[in-house]
Structure 1
Amino acid sequence: MAETTTAAPVGERRTGRRVVRTLVVAYVGVLVVLPLGVLVWRTFKPGLGAFVTAVTDPLAVHAFRMTGEVALVSVALTTVFGTVAAFLITRSGLPGMRILDALLGLPVSVSPIVVGLALILVYGSTGWFGPALESLGLQVILSVPGMVLATMFVSMPLVTRAVAPVLVARGTDQEQAAESLGASAPVRFWRITLPGIRTALVTGVVLALARSIGEYGAVLVVSGNVQGQTETATLRVDTLYQTLLQPDAAYAVTFVLVAVAILTIVATSLLRRSQGGTR
């Protein structure tokens, strides 16, 4: 009887695992694999020549270049400010850090279009700081700086949320020991803190990069979506599909964006694995 009562729960657990595994595979298949498969099929259905023509179109090339510029600048700034914000929240002990933590979570719950409108109210030609900046020859809205600000707003929490838990888990014992031995703050950061948060930081940067490349709503509002000037790749997809009624070209540009995102994630995964193996 004892063996029967023991075997029954084990069999139930195995059945439960199979059910969960099946549900997860079905979920991923329906929401990820199937759409990507259809995208690949529709992209190359007109032929390889049509794909090459679509992605080498001057307007598409400009959109790719604009996406790269905005994403790289915003991710570079996001890495710095996101890491600093994580340190302030977890290590500074200053008052108001809970409010800062809550504010950093706003991009997760607020629509990016709202972010774009808020930036216009602040930096637009009739906004709080817009006229003063324009008098100095600096235009934020309908230009690259506004696109970078909008992209930073939606991507910075990804870096902070990746780094902050690791800082809390590590504590400050190693830094305090190094300080007692005479190590300066920059030395403590480069030799002790940064290696400890490196994996989390890389994860946050990759997520921020993917978010920056795929950002649409906030950039649409602040850029004006001018072809050949402030049009990113995601905006180019919308223009091709909705305005110009060229779905095949839209699928081609979308395929490039998806391919870049997948390659970035795979490369980062391999980098993290190699770093883990050398420790």
Structure 2
Amino acid sequence: MADPEIKSYEPHHESQSAAVTESRPVRIVAMAVAFAFLAVFLLMPLIVVFHEALAKGVGAYTEALASSDTRSAIRLTLLVAAISVPLNLVFGISAAWAIAKFEFKGKAFLTTLIDLPFSVSPVISGLVYVLLFGAQGMLGEWLKAHGVVILFAVPGIVLATVFVTFPFVARELIPLMQEQGNGDEEAALSLGANGWQTFWFVTLPNIKWGLLYGVLLCNARAMGEFGAVSVVSGHI
């Protein structure tokens, strides 16, 4: 007796995830708006800067660069950046490592403090240093009695620059370290590596590009900062 023919039917499901794209005119308008914003807010200020710098000719420009005041300003800018960027590098790595790899009391508070310079005007931060270290400030009399000069000098400029730039390295590393997790570090520790070996040979190679980007942003802000520096330096 022949077995009856068994037919199986599988339900046919149409794709529910059809790609949705904008029409060509919409894409063109969006791209035009984006390029227009870049031109107005990025390219035009740069063009104006170079136009004004070279308005009196290349000779006047090179003469201005060769003046003693310009050389002094450049040396001061490089000095402040050379001090503040390594300090923020150490702080940024330490803070990011602590926040991303460990659980401790005050973690949320530390994260909030790291974001504080983003919400405070640089001029206000410079004013805070004046209120602390100025002649009429909280520590002014003690500093004067001990011959310590902070305001209107390099230490004050460095302090103001460090404050406005210290979030950049940490803020680049924290999400990167959190995304990577602790798997690589735990594996290194299970194989006998100590804390420093784990950091140098496992953690640091994994964050090198984010660290480089954070350092570049920090250095750019340090060399371009004006508001807080102008306050603590007395516009000199």
TM-score (norm 1): 0.73
Q: Which amino acid in the other structure matches residue 220 of structure 1?
A: S
CA RMSD of aligned residues (A): 1.8
Q: Which residue is 1:36 aligned to?
A: 46
The whole-number CA distance in structure 2 between the counterparts of 1:140 and 1:177 is: 47
* 1:103-182 superposed matches below 5 A: 103-182=113-192
Q: CA deviation at 1:164?
A: 0.4
1:136 offset after TM fit, Å?
4.2
Mapping of residues 116-265 of structure 1, within 5 Å: 116-226=126-236
| Greater share of residues in helix | 1
Q: Which runs of 5+ in 1 are unaligned?
A: 1-8, 227-279
Provide the rounded CA distance (Å) in 2 between the counterparts of 1:87 and 1:138. 34
SS at match of 1:105: helix
Residues 136 and 91 (structure 1 numbering): CA distance in 2 closer, same or farther, change over 3 Å? farther
The residue that corresponds to 2:78 in the other structure is 68
Counterpart secondary structure, 1:127: coil
Separation in structure 2 between the aligned mates of residue 111 and residue 78 of structure 1, nearest angstrom = 19
Instruction: Identify the range of structure 1 (159-168 vs 86-95) with the bigger mean alpha-carbon deviation.
Output: 86-95
Supply the AA of the counterpart residue of 2:44. L
Measured at CA, do residues 133 and 43 of structure 1 come closer, stay the same or move farther in structure 2, by a change above 3 Å?
A: same
Partners in 2 of 1:125 and 1:59 — Cα distance? 27
Distance across 1 between alignment mates of 2:27 and 2:79? 45
Structure whose CA Rg is larger: 2
The one-letter code sitting in structure 1 at the alignment partner of 2:194 is: S
Identity of aligned residues (%): 40
What is the match of residue 23 of structure 2? 13
Match of 2:105 in 1: 95
How many residue pairs were aligned? 218
Instruction: Report the residue type matching 2:150 in the other structure.
Output: V
In structure 2, the gaps of 5 or more residues are 1-18
Relative to structure 2, which stretch is displaced further, 83-92 or 67-76? Answer: 83-92
Task: Return closer, same or farther for 1:132/1:93 CA change in 2, 3 Å cut-off.
Answer: farther
CA apart distance, 1:204: 0.7
Q: Which runs of 4 or more aligned residues in structure 1 lie more than 6 Å from their structure 2 counterparts after TM superposition?
A: none
Letter in 1 for 2:34: V
Cα distance, 1:130 vs structure 2: 4.1
Contact between 1:122 and 1:129, CA under 8 Å: does it hold in 2? yes
TM-superposed CA distance for 1:123, in Å, is 2.7
User: Within 2, Cα distance between the matches of 1:137 and 1:183?
Assistant: 48
